[in-house]
A and B are shown apart, each in its own frame.
Chain A
Amino acid sequence: MSHESARVRAEALESLLIEKGLIDAERVDDVIVRYNERVGPMNGARIVARAWLDADFRARLLADGTEAIKEYEFEGGEIQKLVVVENSDKQHNVVVCTLCSCYPWAVLGLPPKWYKDPAYRSRVVREPRQVLSEFGTELEENVRVRVWDSSAEVRYLVLPQQPAEWLGLDEQTMVERITRNSMIGVERLA
């Protein structure tokens, strides 16, 4: 089966199964979104929201990310070492894998396409401010940018700053608003 015929077949199967009522079209989308964006990022978002609300957890998370998230028993991902880096008024962190596409799968799900793009991988190291501004993230002059290069051994998660307007929101609402990109560090939350 060629690439093109497989693409066609995939669509044929999906449409036939939907027509026969064997699957629900919306649930297919849900699963895909879950695997592409939600499951992982939701895990990361839970960690971030808790860190904002629970100072003790935040301290443990920053001291030893791997240990701190053990209690969650996240499925589908084994991270040898997770390092959580905290954004502040003085420092903005952004994650890349310059060699390939190492990514904290268990907490952020599947990596977005651009993360694997050679242009992102090389440019974010050379000109991080420019790359961030292309994501719509304009950093003030006095904010230091630090780029973290992932490897097979160490995966990074950015702890974004909590927007002032979010103070007082309940944890679940915050979890839903924390984006994948903010935890890679290419966006700020607002």
Chain B
Amino acid sequence: MNDVSIPLDGRYQPPLANGEVVFDQPWQGRVFGLAILLAEQDTFQWSDLQQSLIDVVAEWDNETDGRSGDYPYYELFAEALSRLMVQAGLLMESEVFSRDAEILARPHGHDHAHSHDQDH
């Protein structure tokens, strides 16, 4: 039984606490929401995203050799969604990397997801 109407199975479904989806950080909710929107507008099928997640999780398993305690679901989810966008030809890998760099280079506190209202 799970309380999620998102068709991702087993390890590939979002973390649940007693059947409820939980986000530890706002960005996790946003990236999840982004995926829901893209699936709803048929940009991709959930099965495509699940396949991308399977690949990313398999790599993570390999890299961590089963030693890592925490399963960083949304980190893997963001990577899987990102790859899927590139594979589908919607985004170029190079532009994703450049945008990452632009965001990282932004002055601290500006439009920052974890801003504590001290800025400005």
Contacts and interface: CB of A to CB of B under 8 A. Distances in A.
Interface string A1-19: 1110111111111111100
B61 to A, nearest CB: 14
A152 interface: yes
Nearest to B28: A10
Interface in A22-48: 22-23, 27-28, 31-32, 35-36
Contact size range, A: 35 or more
B76 A17 contact: no
Contacts of B90: 17, 20, 22
B75 interface: yes
Interface residues of B, number: 46
A184 B21 CA distance: 18
B82 interface: yes
Given A1-B76, A76-B3, A76-B5, A31 B20 contact: no
Given A13-B96, A116-B22, A1 B78 contact: yes
Interface string B19-31: 1111101011111
